[in-house]
Amino acid sequence: MAGGVLRGIARHAFSRGPIELVQTVRITVETGIDGDFRGALKPGRNKRQVSLMEVGDWAQAMTLIGHDLPWWERRANLLVENFDLPQTLGVRVRVGEVLLEITKECDPCSRMETIAEGLRAALTPDWRGGALAQVIEGGRISVGDTIRIETKPPVCAE
């Protein structure tokens, strides 16, 4: 397979608000995921408009803590399968027609402990909590779309 598959899309209208699962959504450079509060914060300089997580990483965390919670409890926006999320800032990934740039690791917060004891620690190693991204090109995405590396960051000359 040349790329992975988008398995889930989640959004929440306000901080700590209820999660809404959708099958398709519009994403813009200005506001991130339509209906998700985080994408519109700090217009033009928001480095965490979209959060992505791997199916396998969530499964591994669930095994470690002995639970079987749904992935959206992580409060990530996009769940991907058969794709190793880049752990390098500046890598660009294409999800359907949307282009995202990886900006940082999505460190698990203390809220994960309120969901399940040990979850924060289970999500901490090796970017298991996911990656954050900024929208470079907007468009529509749907569950089932492919995800692939579009560009790698430039190599710095020494």
Continuous H helices in 38-145: 55-65, 111-115, 119-123
**Structure confidence at residue 1 (pLDDT):** 42
**Structure confidence at residue 114 (pLDDT):** 86
Query: Which residue has better confidence, 81 or 40?
Result: 81
Residue 157 pLDDT greater than 60, yes or no: no
Classify residue 156: in a domain, yes or no: no
Q: Which one, of 72, 77, 74, lies nearest residue 50 by Cα?
A: 77
Into how many domains does the chain fold?
1
**Structure confidence at residue 24 (pLDDT):** 98
Q: Which domain holds residue 25?
A: 4-12+19-151
Question: What is the residue-wise DSSP string for 119-142?
Answer: HHHHHSGGGTT-EEEEEEE-EEEE
Radius of gyration over every alpha carbon of the chain, rounded to an integer in angstroms:
15
Query: pLDDT class for 17, splitting at 50, 70, 90?
Result: confident
Direct distance between the N- and C-terminal alpha carbons of the chain, in angstroms, rounded to an integer: 35
Query: Which residue has better confidence, 76 or 16?
Result: 76
Classify residue 137: in a domain, yes or no: yes
pLDDT in tens, 72-98: 999 999 999 999 999 999 999 999 999
Q: What is the mean pLDDT of the chain?
A: 91
CATH number of the CATH domain containing 36: 2.40.33.20
CB 48 within 8 A of CB 132: yes
Classify residue 51: in a domain, yes or no: yes
Output the pTM of the full model: 0.91
Classify residue 158: in a domain, yes or no: no
**Structure confidence at residue 154 (pLDDT):** 59
